[in-house]
Amino acid sequence: MKVIEEPVHHPGGSFRFLALELRAFGGGRHRHAQAELTWVERGQGLRFVGDHVEPFADGDLVLVGPWLPHHWSGRAARGEPAYRARVVQFPPALAEAGLLPELTPLQAVLARAGRGLAIGGRTHGRLTAALAAMDGAGAAARLALLMQVFAALIEADAAELRPLAAQGVPRPRGAGEPLRRIDRVLEWMHRQLHTELPLAEAARRAHVSPAAFSRFFRRETGRTWTEAVNELRCSEAARRLRHDTRPVAEIAVDCGWRTQSHFNRVFRARFGMTPRAWRRAGLG
């Protein structure tokens, strides 16, 4: 999945606020110099943050650090209301000690957000209240609400900020060959999820030997090839189990699983319950 380096502009303001209503999340995997706080008030799909992928649903709230690749993927089914999201993008320089000393502790939060942070608990309520209030507010009022967002992040209990990616991603130094290789492999991996996805074919697409590819992929993503494939297949199956009424076994095959027993075992290890229990619980 190609990573797009997205320019973020907010002329006349210190940050950018977006209120979105749309039928689908799209745009591809991207990164930018700004930190980003995204609240999906209504919507379901898959969330990609760095090397991490998992289903998201209504209420999802994530802080993504600067330059960390991310992508929300999902489409409202026919008859469902449009997806609704609120997004704040701000330069990390706002947390520099020389500008506003009171925000210096925010630097530590942004450092943790280099892996992406899924936000829950009391902090979730404080942040979403501020984001909801930004809708329709004037520029000065929005800035005051941004300070409330920063205060909530600084005061958050560490347990309410769940890291997502196995490792952060430093600012890119141009479109280097390792990044282009991983993009080619990930794009093929998503497109051919229902097939076998052999490591040898992934290595061929990266133009390296299988042994070199194993080392390269682990270094770049923090996962072995098998771990990454199983993680993506589990996440896609979890997303489909929410709306697809077909038997679990058929969904498993569509997501590339060759045996039901293997699918059940890996799914349970990842999500703490069987696929059928996940479906009954209405998760995903």
pLDDT digits (tens, 9 = 90+) for 82-130: 999 999 999 998 887 667 889 999 999 999 999 999 999 999 999 999 9
What is the domain-level CATH number for residue 216?
1.10.10.60
Overall average pLDDT of the 144-167 stretch: 94
H/E stretch holding 235 reads helix 225-243
Does 266 lie in the same domain as 156? no
Residue 92, judged by CB atoms within 10 A of its CB (0-12, 13-18, 19+), counts as: middle
Furthest C-alpha separation in the chain? 59
Does 156 lie in the same domain as 217? no
% the chain with pLDDT above 90: 46
Structural domains of the chain, count: 2
Whether 69 is in a domain gets the answer yes
Query: Which residue carries 């929300």 as its tokens?
Result: 72
Does 139 lie in the same domain as 32? yes
Does 237 lie in the same domain as 134? no
Q: Which two tokens stand for residue 203?
A: 């290595």
Of 97, 128, 163, the residue at which a domain comes to its end is: 163
Phi and psi for 64 in degrees, rounded to 5? -110, 130
Whether 248 is in a domain gets the answer yes
Whether 158 is in a domain gets the answer yes
Does 138 lie in the same domain as 98? yes
Does 195 lie in the same domain as 105? no
CB 183 within 8 A of CB 65: no
Does 110 lie in the same domain as 9? yes
How far is residue 121's CA from residue 102's CA, in Å, rounded to a whole number?
Answer: 24
User: What pLDDT score does 98 carry?
Assistant: 66
How far is residue 240's CA from residue 208's CA, in Å, rounded to a whole number?
Answer: 34
27 has which bridge partners? none
Among 46-55, 131-140, 265-274, where is mean pLDDT lowest? Answer: 46-55
Does 54 lie in the same domain as 154? yes
Q: Is the dihedral of CA 255, 228, 271, 21 positive or negative?
A: negative
The SS3 assignment for 247 reads coil
Of 163, 187, 202, the residue at which a domain comes to its end is: 163
CB 34 within 8 A of CB 66: yes
Q: Indicate if the pLDDT at residue 140 is higher than 90.
A: yes
- Give the single-character DSSP code of 160: G
Q: Assign 168 a pLDDT band (cuts: 50, 70, 90).
A: low
Does 81 lie in the same domain as 202? no
Whether 170 is in a domain gets the answer no
Whether 172 is in a domain gets the answer no
Q: Report the range out of 6-20, 195-209, 233-247 with the highest average pLDDT.
A: 195-209
What is the domain-level CATH number for residue 134?
2.60.120.10
Whether 171 is in a domain gets the answer no
Of 163, 198, 224, the residue at which a domain comes to its end is: 163
Query: Who contacts 154 (Cβ-Cβ below 8 Å, separation ≥6)?
Result: 103, 105, 106, 109
Query: Who contacts 244 (Cβ-Cβ below 8 Å, separation ≥6)?
Result: 251
How far is residue 38's CA from residue 20's CA, in Å, rounded to a whole number?
Answer: 11
CB 120 within 8 A of CB 63: no
Does 25 lie in the same domain as 128? yes
Radius of gyration of the chain (CA): 20
How far is residue 218's CA from residue 228's CA, in Å, rounded to a whole number?
Answer: 10
Does 133 lie in the same domain as 38? yes
Does 186 lie in the same domain as 155? no
Which residue range(s) make up the domain with 270? 177-281
In terms of phi and psi (left: phi > 0; alpha: psi -120 to 50; beta: otherwise), the region of 107 is alpha
Whether 22 is in a domain gets the answer yes
DSSP β-ladder status, 161-163 and 117-119? antiparallel
Whether 234 is in a domain gets the answer yes
Overall average pLDDT of the 145-162 stretch: 96
